[in-house]
Amino acid sequence: MVAVAATGVAATAEAASTSAASISEKVAYLLRAVNVGGNKVPMAELRTLAADLGADDVETYVNSGNLVCVPPGDADDFGTALVEGISERMGVTTDAIARTAAELRAARDAFPYDVHESKFCYVWFLAAAPSSEAKSAVEAYDFGPERVALIGQDLHIWYADGAGRSAITATRLHRLCGVTGTGRNLRTVEKLAAMAE
């Protein structure tokens, strides 16, 4: 297990390097709310941090916080270490939500609505599975012209005219689901799935 020690990133990297075994599967880490509202996480610095923490085959995609790598051990433990490192080095509080290529493709394939434009169709990846009460709250909420479905650990969102004009916000989704998450349009989901293969 990769522990996030109080002594910081250096200690975390040392723990990662001595973990019992490293997995060979690539994982995509989706960062929540970075490079918006002053939460600046340069992608070059993110790649450096991931490598310093022991990750291999490190890549990023666009500027919205998408990291693909082979983590040094447990994928969720590495995500915790990554979040700690981002806080220490860049002063940004975020979440890193891990998904494999298979999970990304399954989310894409589960999208329940007609894809009129991939940039208007999103999967909102949640940090944990919401409760049955949260699922009922999502199903009962009136999203107006938008459509939202909770399938497993992902919200599927169909925007009538794009996310920028919608009343759906991260705060509202968090309140309904009770867990944090971050959204990516289907074009990005497909690209990240390909990168993580």
- Domain 9-94 CATH class label: alpha beta
Give pLDDT, residue 12: 43
CA–CA separation, 197 and 188 (whole Å): 14
Measure the N-to-C terminal CA separation of the chain; round to a whole number of Å: 24
The reply to whether 9-94 and 107-195 are identical in fold is yes
Task: Report the candidate in 29, 43, 36 with the shortest Cα–Cα distance to residue 77.
Answer: 29
pTM: predicted TM-score of the whole model, two decimal places? 0.86
Q: Tokens 């200690």: give the residue.
A: 11
Give the pLDDT of the chain (197 residues) as one tens digit per residue.
Answer: 233 333 345 444 444 433 333 457 999 999 999 998 889 999 999 999 999 999 999 999 999 999 999 999 999 999 999 999 999 999 999 999 999 999 999 999 999 999 999 999 999 999 999 999 999 999 899 999 999 999 999 999 999 988 887 889 889 999 999 999 999 999 999 999 999 99
Domain range summary for the chain, segments of one domain joined by +: 9-94, 107-195
Give the DSSP H or E segment for 139. helix 132-140
Give pLDDT, residue 108: 97
Architecture of domain 107-195: 2-Layer Sandwich (3.30)
